[in-house]
Amino acid sequence: MILRVFNWAMAALMLAPLVLIVWMSFTPAAFFRLPLTEFSLRWYREAFNYPGFFNSFLLSLRLAGVSATIATILAFLAAYGLVRFRFPGKGALEGFFMSPLLVPGVVYGIAMLQFVNSLGLYNTFWALVMAHIAIVVPYALRTIHAQLRAVPEDLEWAARTLGATRTRTLLKVTLPLCARGVLSGFLLAFLISFAEVTVVIFMTGPAYQTLPIRIYNYLTDQIDPTVAAISAMLIGLSLVLILILDRIGGLRPTAK
Amino acid sequence: MSGADAAPAGSVPVGRGTARWLPSIFVLPLCIALALAFLWPLIDGTINSFHPFTRAGIDRESWTLANYAKLWDSFYAGILMRTIRVSLIVTLLTAALAYPVALYIVRLSPRVQAIYLLIYMTPWLVNVVVKAFGWTLLLGNRGVINNVLQGLGITDSPLRLMLNETGIVIGLTHGHFIFVLLPLWAALGGLDPNLRWAAANLGARAWDIFRRVTLPLTLPALVAGLIINFTMNMTAFATPALLGGARARVVSFLAYETNLVDLNWPLGSAMAVAMLAISLLLVWLSQRAAASGSRRVMFEGAAR
Amino acid sequence: MSLDLKSLHKRFGAVRAIDDVSLTVGDGEFFSLLGPSGCGKTTLLRTIAGILQPDSGTIALDGRDITGVPVHARNTALVFQSYALFPHLTVFENVAFGLRMRREKEAAIKARVDEALALVRLDGMAGRFPAQISGGQQQRVALARALVVRPALLLLDEPLSNLDARLREEMRTEIRRIQRAVGITTILVTHDIHEAFALSDRIAVMNQGRAEQIGTPADIYLRPATQFVAEFAGQVNHFATRVERVDGARLEVATSDGARFWVAPAGPLPAIGSELSVILRPERVRLDNGAYANRFTATVEDVTYLGGLTIYRLTLGAHRLLAQAQNLGTPALAPGATVAVGWEAEDGVCLVRG
In a domain, C230, yes or no: no
What is the C-alpha separation between A6 and A191, in angstroms, rounded? 30
pLDDT digits (tens, 9 = 90+) for C321-340: 999 988 887 777 889 889 99
Contact state of A84 with B259 under an 8 Å Cβ cutoff: no
Helix (H) or strand (E) holding C210: strand C210-215
Contact flag B123-A14 (C-beta cutoff 8 Å): yes
**Is the pLDDT confidence value at A121 over 90?**
no
The predicted structure's pLDDT at residue A36: 61
pTM, full prediction: 0.81
Average pLDDT over residues B153-167: 86
Q: Scanning every residue of chain A, which has its alpha carbon at the shortest distance from the alpha carbon of B15?
A: A87
Query: Nearest-CA neighbor of C20 among C230, C208, C189?
Result: C208
Given C224, C250, C271, the domain boundary residue is: C224
Strand, coil or helix: what is C290?
A: coil
Tens of pLDDT, residues C247-276:
888 889 998 888 889 998 887 888 888 888
pLDDT of residue C328: 84
pLDDT at residue A33, as a whole number = 61
Q: pLDDT band for B9, please (50, 70, 90 cuts).
A: very low
Q: How far apart are CA C261 and CA B51, in angstroms?
A: 110
The verdict on residue C89 lying in a domain is yes
Q: How far is A113 from chain B (nearest CA, A)?
A: 8
Q: How much is the pLDDT for A40?
A: 80
Q: Is residue C88 part of a domain?
A: yes
Give me the amino acid identity at A6: F
What is the rounded average pLDDT of the residues C101-120?
A: 92
Residue among C186, C87, C119, C131 at smallest CA distance from B216: C87
Identity of the residue in C75, C84, C87 whose CB atom sits nearest the CB atom of B299: C87
Same domain, C253 and C122: no
Residue C354 confidence (pLDDT): 57
- Residues of A in Cβ contact (< 8 Å) with B36: 130
pLDDT in tens, A162-202: 878 888 888 888 888 888 889 989 998 998 899 898 999 99
Helices B178-189 & B110-125 angle (0-180, nearest 10): 160
Q: Which residue of A has its CA nearest to B116?
A: A11
pLDDT per position as a tens digit, C163-221: 888 888 888 888 898 898 889 999 999 999 999 999 999 999 999 999 999 999 999 99
Interface test with C, best of B191, B196, B201 (most C CBs within 10 A): B201
pLDDT at A34: 56
Domain assignment present for C26: yes
Question: CB B205 to CB C83 under 8 A?
Answer: no
Chain B contact set for C130 (CB, 8 A): 299, 302-303
Residue C126, chain B, CB below 8 Å: the answer is no
Distance of CA B41 to the CA centre of its chain: 23
- Structure confidence at residue A77 (pLDDT): 93
B271, B71 in Cβ contact below 8 A? Answer: yes
Chains A and C physically touch (3 or more Cβ atom pairs below 8 Å): no
Sequence letter at residue A210: T
Name the class of domain B71-303. Answer: mainly alpha
Going by C-alpha positions, the residue among B258, B284, B79, B70 that lies closest to residue A109 is: B258
Q: How high is the pLDDT of residue A252?
A: 59
Where does a domain end: C199, C224, C249? C224
Contacting chains of A (3 CB pairs or more, <8 Å) are B
Q: Are residues C177 and C245 in the same domain?
A: no
Phi-psi domain of B17 (left: phi exceeds 0; alpha: psi -120 through 50; beta: other): left
* Per-residue pLDDT tens over the stretch B265-299: 999 999 999 999 998 998 888 888 877 765 544 44
Q: Is residue C132 located within the same domain as residue C252?
A: no
What average pLDDT does range A65-91 have in this prediction?
A: 92
Residue A29 has pLDDT above 90, yes or no: no
Q: Which domain holds residue C195?
A: 3-224
Rg (C-alpha) for chain A, rounded Å, is: 22
Q: Give the mean pLDDT of A136-147.
A: 92
pLDDT, residue A32, reads 59
What's the CA gap between C199 and C32, in Å, rounded? Answer: 8
Which residues in chain B (179-198) have CB-CB distances under 8 A to chain C?
192, 194-195, 197-198
Give the Cα separation of B131 and B139 in Å (integer).
12
The residue among C88, C132, C141, C156 with the most chain B CBs within 10 A of its CB, best to mutate, is C88
From the list C82, C86, C98, which residue is nearest B203 (CB)?
C98
Sequence-distant (≥ 6) Cβ neighbours of residue B115 within 8 angstroms: none
CATH domain A51-255 topology: MetI-like fold (1.10.3720)
Please give the average per-residue pLDDT across C53-63, as a whole number.
Answer: 93
Residues of A in contact with B29 (CB under 8 A): 74, 77-78
- Strands B53-54 and B12-13 turn out to be unpaired
The whole-angstrom distance between C150's CA and the closest CA on chain B is 11
**Which domain-ending residue is among C186, C202, C224?**
C224
Tell whether C247 and C152 lie within a shared domain: no
Q: Supply the pLDDT for residue B54.
A: 83
Please compute the mean of the pLDDT values over residues C151-170 and round it to a whole number.
88
DSSP per-residue letters across B222-289: HHHHHHHHHHHHHH--HHHHHHTGGGG--HHHHHHHHHHTS--HHHHHHHHHHHHHHHHHHHHHHHHH
Window 262-291 of B: residues touching A by CB (8 A cutoff) are 265, 268-269, 271-273, 275-276, 279-280, 283
pLDDT at residue number A251:
63
Q: How many domains does chain C have?
A: 2
pLDDT over 50 at B182, yes or no: yes
The helix-helix angle for A2-25 and A225-247 (nearest 10°) equals: 130
Most confident of A59-68, A193-202, C283-292, C345-354: A59-68
Q: Is B201 on the interface with C (CB under 8 A)?
A: yes
Answer yes or no: is pLDDT of C277 > 80: yes
Q: Does C87 touch chain B (CB under 8 A)?
A: yes
The reply to whether C307 falls in a domain is yes
Closest residue in chain B to residue A89, using alpha carbons only:
B5
Q: Note the pLDDT of residue A37.
A: 66
- pLDDT greater than 90 at residue A107: yes
- Any chain C CB within 8 A of the CB of B300? yes
- Please give the Cα distance from C348 to C279 (Å, whole number): 5
Task: Note whether C195 and C241 are same-domain residues.
Answer: no
Q: What is the pLDDT of residue C78?
A: 92
DSSP symbol at C255:
E
Residues C156 and C33 in one domain: yes
Whether residues C57 and C154 fall in one domain: yes
What are the extents of the domains in chain B? 71-303
* pLDDT attached to residue A218: 84
Q: What is the CATH number of the domain that holds C248?
A: 2.40.50.140
**The domain spanning residue C103 has which CATH number?**
3.40.50.300
Domain locations in chain A?
51-255
pLDDT, residue C61, reads 92
For residue C232, being part of any structural domain is answered with no
C150: nearest CA in chain B? B202
Please tell me whether residues C130 and C50 are part of one structural domain: yes
Q: How far apart are CA A228 and CA A66, in angstroms?
A: 27
pLDDT of B31 higher than 90: yes
What are the CA-CA distances from residue A206 to residues A60, A117, A125, B268 (Å)?
Answer: 14, 14, 11, 21
Give the best residue of C45, C69, C72, C141 to mutate against chain B (max B CB count within 10 A). C72
Residues C65, C156 within the same domain: yes
- Summarize pLDDT for C282-303 with one digit per residue, the tens: 999 998 888 888 999 999 999 9
Q: Cα–Cα distance between B227 and B90 in angstroms, integer?
A: 11
CA distances from B51 to B61, B66, B252, C148 (A): 8, 9, 21, 70
